[in-house]
Amino acid sequence: MSFVSQSTGYWFLAIFAVFITLFTYYFSKKQSWHSKEGFLLANREVGWFLGGFTIASSWIWAPALFVSVQSAYQQGLAGIFWFTLPNILALLIFAIFAPRIRARLPKGYTFPQYIKYRLESDRVHKMFLFPYIFYQLMAVVVQLFAGGSLLSLLTGIQLTTIMPILALIVLIYTLISGFRASIITDFVQLGLIYIIGIIILPMAWRAAGGLDAVTAGIHGIQNIGSIFDPGVAFSFGIVTSIGLLAGSISDQSNWQRAFAIKEGKVVKAFIFGSILFGIVPIALSTLGFLGVKPNLNITLPAGVDASMIGVQTVAALLPFWAVSLFVIMLLAGLSSALDAGLSAASSLWVTDVIKKPADDNAAIKAARYSMLGITVLGLLVSLAAVYVPNFGLKQLWWVFNTIAACVAVPTVLSLYWNKLSEKGVFWGVLVSFVVGIPLFIYGNIIDKPAWIVGASLFIVAVSTLFCLIIPRKVPWANAQVSQIPT
């Protein structure tokens, strides 16, 4: 079942691609990005206002656009509470972490770069690189999977056809000026999300019968009575909270912004960004509440993931032009997170993987090649995920956030605890990977919340325990990590 013709869908994608590419090119004409620092960090000159926009926009992943509505639809207020609160906290904690790493690593680019010199360990550096690069890979996969599912539902175009088109669109404009392109488009994309949301959401409420229709669905289709329902807190809240907080800490795009924003402005930028972000899933959750109302007859087509309930609600209640605006809003959010992932991956590649580039041109060339590489790899994984049974956006999101949880505690301790040892970090992270991740995946396969939650808690506990029981005998100095090459 589609709501527009396939030809209209192709025209829609073409117009979006031309607009966003031309906009990026026009505002990237300055020569300031033609250096390694300019391409990867916008010369560390991003102000707090623009910084807040890029922080919020890059964190508006597919889960914020789709899982938020799905959680409200299935679990009501309890679901959206346990989704939104840790999401906001995940950005707010960088108001603490960002100034700390800037003080210790003034000319840094990535967190794995910091950990390498802080612990003086190549093996820990490589171990950290895996979840950090994997996280950016999954950023590409999730956005392509969700964006493709959205457009496939609305246009009838095959999902395997749409995903390569989306990947190509974002890759083209991000290649132009790297991180600067991401910042420029983030401002526009978040602006589109707010403007279109202000237009579309009240229309949907009125079409459904007013705010009474919204409040009628606040318990979700599972009829969850309390926002603090213990079942939701255990099966969804704990895993989501651990995953989001760990994911934020292990997301190079956040560290990239911590290094790029002007010194002294990072705290204000992350507080502002967390507020801008939080409004989005809370507002969109009302579409999930509407989907619960029986007399609206809002049902998902067979085989369509439950995360598409918000799109289905808008399509069922509003005219074609309104649905088109809504799709633009969702595409803006998806593409902003996707270009942030490409830009973050390029900084990891240039800084932590390859040998030091000969000059700025070599660094930019390497960064662009890495963007191309991770886009192709992410597309292949996305295409493979289409054929995995009973595996939707929520499961994909949980898995890569849980891998990030393996290094979350050592990351925090490295910033604040000067007795953290290389051995403690190595063995804690290794056991988390080898034992905890298989347990978590198995729990998802058999769909047992106790296994899923238990595995998540095990990962956090064991990585913490090894760090604490194998401390460094001689504390690290509090001084800056001065031996890092600029």
Determine contact, residues 318/202, Cβ cutoff 8 Å: no
Q: How far apart are CA 202 and CA 188, in angstroms?
A: 22
Amino acid identity, residue 77? Answer: L
pLDDT tens digits, 227-250: 888 888 887 788 778 878 888 898
Length of the chain: 486
What tokens appear for 73 in the block? 């639809």
* pLDDT computed for residue 416 by the predictor: 92
How confident is the model over 369-425, as pLDDT tens digits?
999 999 999 999 888 877 766 555 556 666 766 788 889 999 999 999 989 999 999
pLDDT digits (tens, 9 = 90+) for 103-136: 999 999 999 999 998 999 999 999 999 889 988 9
Query: Which comes out higher in pLDDT, residue 123 or 336?
Result: 123
CA–chain centroid gap for 404, Å, is: 12
Query: Distance between CA atoms of 165 and 332, rounded to whole angstroms?
Result: 15
- Tens of pLDDT along 7-57? 888 888 898 889 888 888 887 766 567 789 999 999 999 999 999 999 999
Residue 200 pLDDT level (bands cut at 50, 70, 90): very high
pLDDT at 141 over 80: yes
Express each pLDDT in 444-482 by its tens digit.
777 777 888 888 889 999 999 999 999 887 776 655 555
**Residues 376-399 as b or e (16 or more Cβ within 10 Å = b):** eebbebbbebeeeeebbbbbbbbb
The predicted model scores a pTM of 0.89
In the chain, the domains with their CATH numbers are 6-29+42-469 (1.20.1730.10)
Locate 257 and state its tokens.
Answer: 């912004």
